[in-house]
Amino acid sequence: MGTLDGMTAVRPAISDVSDAALLAWLAKRGEPAYRAKQIRRHATRGTAAGFGELTDLPKPLREALAASFRWTSVELVREDASADGETRKALLRLADGHHIETVLMPHHGARNAVCVSTQAGCPMACAFCATGEMGLVRNLTAGEIVDQTRHWQRELAQRGDRVSHVVYMGMGEPFNNYDATLASTRTLVDPEAFGISPRRLTISTCGVVPGIDQLAGEGLPINLAVSLHAPDDPTRARIMPINRKWGVEEVLAAAARYVKRTKRRVTFEYVLLAGVNDSAETARELAALITRHGPTKDSHVNLIPYNPGAGGFRRPSVERMEHFAEVLQEQGIAATLRISKGQDIAAGCGQLKVAEGKAQLLPI
């Protein structure tokens, strides 16, 4: 058993137990190896709320599992539904008393995208982002990342549906927690687990160049989204402190390398801030920057209206945002103005934040 933050030991969550460790645990009890697949299948695809409901396993095995492992690493504290009738946000408690948020974003019955967090809090301090105001509390384990998807999977399964897409765009910088992030993607794409196509996973980064290059070499055709928010270093550094470490040109060069190695198009996330980065001239500078770093077909710009919250910025008018998109398109850049959802429950881009006090170890 491990410890969290030096506190009392807790049972590991089944989502944080490796296949090898689970097989060894089963073998020690004289159980056949195929039981491991049964357990994983229940954990990732079914509606069971605990080991006691795995009725295709012998009762003594169910009891032994419950005594050795936690069914999940997260516990639902509160769930909020948006007035848009689709978006839902869950506040989840971790075993050490800290909290994270995750969002379900259905799209008119065609798909169910889940936005997951990779850290409790975030150290990147982007000026427009409420999560950055928290600072970093701690990294999440791979199981804690996966269990956010499991939370929504169980709810969707009860109505005959399932998670189809996962976006790593919640709390935290995924590449600052690289190993756990990557391990979670391998569980999500595993046919014996969630079986989600890697092409339906998207990892978003503030522009951690070594992480972009490392992911490019993993052999997984995962989508990459890069938070850009400005085409020049002075403006981007004002919005994103990380720009002082890896500037605009370095980030674009890394994105181009990612495209070359993975054959996947990169999305540039761009939050529109009134009077800061939303002028037509800025749009032309952005188009020129992207064009310098490769064929325009290799990228897409996702324009995101600023959501009220951190930084005291303002959202540009609809007309100004639409004109920004038009200028990009006139320059041959694929650009989409995102429809904002979930603002009323603080589930929009840059709005995830939880109140953190002194954590206490609580059973899950």
* Contact residues for 59 (Cβ-Cβ < 8 A; gap 6+): none
Phi, psi of 303 (to 5 degrees): -85, 125
CB 147 within 8 A of CB 74: yes
DSSP element (H, E) containing 75: strand 74-81
DSSP element (H, E) containing 103: strand 99-107
CB 169 within 8 A of CB 204: yes
Quick one: how far is CA 240 from the chain centroid? 19
Give the active site residue among 126, 129, 206, 349: 349
Q: How many CB atoms lie within 10 A of CB 97?
A: 16
Give the active site residue among 101, 144, 155, 173: 101
Report in angstroms the alpha-carbon separations of 277 from 115, 287, 316, 322: 26, 13, 10, 14
| 101 noted as active-site residue | yes
| 349 noted as active-site residue | yes
Q: Which residues are identified as catalytic?
A: 101, 349
